[in-house]
Chains A and B, each alone.
Chain A
């Protein structure tokens, strides 16, 4: 689910009804301007929403044929068209919406709080985090629960942190990864149905600068963070923003 969180500039929300060139079956998905030979607005894709006009906040069915009751076959979808609308997307642990994030056990204790050894199981082999370099590792349970740091995985054996956690990291403390940082170099990949953020994808694949993170809303064990964590995204390639990205 992608919900409108707020308008970044503090302006009023602007909603327009736009004719569709494709059926929109789920609210909270990005829509882009019509391309050649299309009747109306279209859906974005998981990695790009170039020339987005906003996010749909209801649904519409695309008809081409004349209707038996002579009603207009043209359908419209309501779109929030503010270029600086911020959308709160749930973090999904897979490309399928609704998946829980993957927790990692810390294998070796770190008294200085500067080293994490993530493993899929308690005491198991270390998981290589080099695919999500320079992104966020969040402490899900333990003394540092609720705190995140940027990770620098030097190799496949552990994860170095440039800044220490406030407390020592104990064995079996749980962590999860959010492969995007607020206002930084990573871009977003959405889930297959375009309504959540795919937190499993490697950062190297997030190359299309359409959606950028404004802030992270990550939750620890006390608030069921594996199913209840979010990233607030803003569109960096909006049709009404007056600028075009290469």
Chain B
């Protein structure tokens, strides 16, 4: 009779972070072309996160997207939708569909316009004599 070593089962203590991690999008499935995935996401007006290697192949103007980096010089962190690499540096780019963007992202111009008639504190403190 073949002897087997005993297995000690330790109950796993899943934290809330572990549970939320399990909900994360796994990225492109094996066998799916990168272009097909991006095309599908564009047709659904999904937000795109692309790493430095993948962003050059995406023509955001042609697809009707707003490039956060192009207009705000703001990189993004997160997993690349195409190659799944976890972006940690400054080369991540966020693209929002132009029809979705006004409901989810305030551009610097919009924020400036909204403050245009606010009375400035400085107007009373640094008035010219």
Chain A interfacial positions (CB closer than 8 Å to B): 1-5, 12-19, 26-28, 33-34, 40-41, 51, 53, 55-59, 72, 76, 78, 88, 145-147, 166, 195, 217-220, 222-223, 225, 228, 230, 239-240
> In the complex the two chains form, is A34's CB within 8 Å of B23's CB?
yes
Given A13-B74, A58-B45, A59-B45, answer yes or no on A219-B114 (Cβ-Cβ < 8 Å): yes
How does the 8 Å CB contact mask read for B11-39 relative to A, with 1 for contact and 0 for none?
00000110110011100010000000000
CB distance from B86 to the nearest CB of A (A): 10
Nearest B residue to A216, CB-CB: B118
Whether B104 sits at the interface, judged by CB under 8 Å, is yes
Contacts of A55 in B (CB 8 A): 104
How many B residues touch the partner, as a band?
35 or more
Give the residue of B76, B97, B102 whose beta carbon is less than 8 angstroms from that of A1.
B102
Whether B124 sits at the interface, judged by CB under 8 Å, is yes
**A41–B46 CA distance with the chains assembled, in angstroms:** 17
Give the residue of A18, A72, A146, A219 whose beta carbon is less than 8 angstroms from that of B24.
A18
**A1–B100 CA distance with the chains assembled, in angstroms:** 11
Binds A, one of B2-10, B51-59, B77-85: B77-85
> In the complex the two chains form, is B23's CB within 8 Å of A18's CB?
yes
How does the 8 Å CB contact mask read for B91-106 relative to A, with 1 for contact and 0 for none?
0101011001011111
CB distance from B29 to the nearest CB of A (A): 8
CB distance from B103 to the nearest CB of A (A): 4
CB distance from B54 to the nearest CB of A (A): 15
Contacts of A13 in B (CB 8 A): 68, 74, 76-77, 94
Give the residue of A14, A72, A228 whose beta carbon is less than 8 angstroms from that of B114.
A228
CB distance from A89 to the nearest CB of B (A): 10
**A26–B104 CA distance with the chains assembled, in angstroms:** 9
Nearest B residue to A225, CB-CB: B117
Given A57-B104, A166-B124, answer yes or no on A16-B25 (Cβ-Cβ < 8 Å): yes
Given A3-B103, A3-B105, A41-B23, answer yes or no on A16-B16 (Cβ-Cβ < 8 Å): no
> In the complex the two chains form, is A3's CB within 8 Å of B106's CB?
yes
Nearest B residue to A40, CB-CB: B23
Shortest Cβ-Cβ A-B pairs, 3 listed = A17-B25, A146-B119, A3-B106
Nearest A residue to B97, CB-CB: A58
Give the residue of B45, B76, B100, B118 whose beta carbon is less than 8 angstroms from that of A12.
B76
Contacts of A228 in B (CB 8 A): 114
Enumerate 30 A-B pairs (CB-CB under 8 Å) in ascending A order. Answer: A1-B104, A3-B104, A3-B110, A4-B105, A12-B74, A12-B77, A13-B68, A15-B78, A16-B25, A16-B78, A16-B79, A17-B24, A17-B81, A18-B23, A18-B24, A33-B23, A56-B104, A57-B47, A58-B97, A72-B29, A78-B46, A88-B106, A219-B118, A220-B117, A222-B117, A223-B117, A228-B114, A230-B114, A239-B17, A240-B17
